[in-house]
């Protein structure tokens, strides 16, 4: 086979439009090497068409897998991360803290009297309250933060690369935001109050111990609400 194979000849002989990057990758082998291939341009073009289809199928499959992974880490009701997504985010933040000698913050809270809201107004209103809180959390979170609903009325916030002082201010703003923005629907107004535990983490923090400390701090706040304290 002595004739030169060009980009245009492959395109003209292709069974479907050929992606330019695939053809250029093929042609980058060098004209001399390609000229030794005992195939007509039409056959080469057909081969590249099949390769393009296979490449697209792999890309589609990777996209489907990524979507499924995202869904498996997302709370269906609120759109926040679920328990799995929270665990992944906290593990990632702890790994970064160890790698870069950074500090971060974990906030853990629930809604006081949420059971009474459900009992008195029904689960549809209760679900709407949870979505209301989720929207407030999203509005107050940085891109690198993770807001999660662990289940029921339990929420967490993971703040990577965050010092104790700035973190305390941010958490206090979130508490104020939730407690100053009552849930409203069809004339119904429900003031909200949260019990909040906050712990700091660093390069030496342990995942399980961190959760225990955050839970303990939250229940201490529930028993006797004081000025926000950061454990750890």
Q: Which of 153, 208, 213, 215 is catalytic?
A: 153
Give yes or no: 153 in active site: yes
Burial of 78 (0-12, 13-18, 19+ CB in 10 A): buried
Cβ atoms of 61 and 129 within 8 Å: the answer is: no
- Residue 230 tokens read as 């950061």
Distances (CA, A) of 29 to 59, 136, 174: 24, 56, 58
What is the rounded CA–CA span in Å between residue 16 and residue 49? 6
What is the rounded CA–CA span in Å between residue 155 and residue 82? 9
What is the rounded CA–CA span in Å between residue 55 and residue 53? 5
- Show the beta-strand stretches assigned E in 160-212: 183-185, 188-190, 194-201
- Residue 50 tokens read as 């099949």
**Residues carrying an active site annotation:** 153
């Amino acid at each position: 086979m002595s004739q030169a194979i060009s980009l245009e000849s492959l395109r003209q002989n292709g069974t479907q439009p050929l992606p330019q990057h695939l053809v250029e990758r093929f042609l980058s082998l060098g004209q001399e090497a390609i000229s030794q291939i005992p195939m007509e341009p039409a056959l080469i073009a057909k081969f590249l068409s099949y390769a393009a289809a296979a490449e697209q199928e792999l890309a589609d499959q990777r996209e489907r897998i990524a979507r499924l992974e995202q869904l498996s880490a997302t709370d269906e009701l609120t759109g926040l991360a679920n328990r799995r997504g929270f665990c992944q985010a906290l593990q990632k933040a702890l790994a970064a803290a160890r790698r870069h000698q950074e500090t971060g913050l974990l906030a853990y809270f629930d809604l006081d009297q949420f059971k009474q809201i459900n009992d008195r107004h029904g689960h549809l209103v209760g679900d709407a309250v949870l979505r209301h809180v989720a929207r407030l959390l999203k509005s107050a979170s940085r891109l690198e933060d993770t807001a999660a609903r662990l289940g029921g009325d339990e929420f967490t916030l993971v703040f990577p690369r965050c010092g104790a002082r700035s973190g305390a201010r941010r958490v206090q703003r979130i508490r104020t935001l939730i407690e100053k923005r009552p849930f409203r629907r069809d004339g119904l107004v429900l003031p909200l109050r949260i019990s909040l535990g906050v712990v700091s983490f660093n390069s030496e923090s342990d995942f399980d111990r961190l959760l225990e400390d955050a839970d303990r701090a939250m229940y201490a706040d529930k028993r006797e609400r004081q000025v926000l304290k950061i454990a750890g």
